[in-house]
Amino acid sequence: MPGVCFVWYHSFMKHEEMSLLTKQRLSDALKKRMLTQPFSKITVSQVLEDCNLTRPTFYYHFKDMNGLVMWMMQGEVFSLFHLGADCPTFESGMIILIDHLYDNKRLFKSLSSGFSEKEFVIVFYSEAKAMTLHFIEKLCGSIPASKADIDFIAEFFTHAVVNTFLSWIENDYPMHPKELARRFQMVLGGNFEKALDRSASSSLPNKNIIM
């Protein structure tokens, strides 16, 4: 019986690995197309032609083109925000994000042509909030604050960051990356600490304090 389980597990993992490789081929083909075409104009047939896969293969892995582009962008955004989280400060992480969005502006501009604002926010929001929380929680070792306040601070700044990026992309990057980074620094610099300090000094009862 253990031998049967091992064979089944090995077969399952091999299938998962092959499925991931196929998704990546489709994703790479779509990404290449998006550098020259708006996403809204790209068809399943064009993607399949570029990666030499069949239509049944596409629909086995994705319901439609939106499913493929969501999968592609989630991977892109996951990698991007983890690079930002590795920076020493939130502000320096923002510089990484801004530079990447600008260096890949044709890709993100193509994405915005076929995505609603709500869909764009969905792609960016969870990773942006995880990065924001990462930096806020690093400060909590020296500043006691309530869990509810920490989550509110993270949500507030995440919405500000994501919607600023969305506006920047949709308006065709009207501001130079260095100027946008300067303005982020102007608005964000030191404000995590100030918000946490206010939480720590608040006299509201029944606070769940993080030390």
Q: What is the pTM of this model?
A: 0.77
- State the Cα–Cα distance between residues 147 and 21, nearest whole angstrom: 40
- State the Cα–Cα distance between residues 34 and 30, nearest whole angstrom: 6
In tens, the pLDDT along 151-202 reads 999 999 999 999 999 899 989 999 999 999 999 999 888 888 888 888 888 7
Query: Which pLDDT score is estimated for 89?
Result: 87
Query: Quick check: 26 and 8 in contact, CB under 8 A?
Result: no
Lowest mean pLDDT among 1-10, 57-66, 109-118, 138-147: 1-10
pLDDT at 30 exceeding the cut of 90: yes
Query: Quick check: 184 and 94 in contact, CB under 8 A?
Result: yes
- State the Cα–Cα distance between residues 100 and 103, nearest whole angstrom: 5
Give the number of other Cβ atoms within 10 Å of residue 68's Cβ. 22
Query: Which pLDDT score is estimated for 168?
Result: 93
Query: Which pLDDT score is estimated for 144?
Result: 77
- State the Cα–Cα distance between residues 149 and 201, nearest whole angstrom: 12
CA gyration radius, the chain? 21
The distance in angstroms from the start CA to the end CA of the chain is 50
Name the percent of the chain in helix, strand, coil, to the closest 5.
Answer: 80, 0, 20
Residue 157 tokens, joined: 């700044």
pLDDT at 6 exceeding the cut of 50: no
Arithmetic mean of pLDDT over the chain: 85
Coil, strand, or helix at residue 171?
A: coil
Coil, strand, or helix at residue 190?
A: coil
Paired strand residues for 210:
145
Give the residue from 154, 73, 79, 80 showing the smallest Cα distance to 119: 73
In tens, the pLDDT along 94-115 reads 999 999 999 998 888 888 777 7
Query: Which pLDDT score is estimated for 77?
Result: 87
pLDDT at 9 exceeding the cut of 70: no
Average pLDDT over residues 200-206: 63
Q: Which amino acid is at 170?
A: E
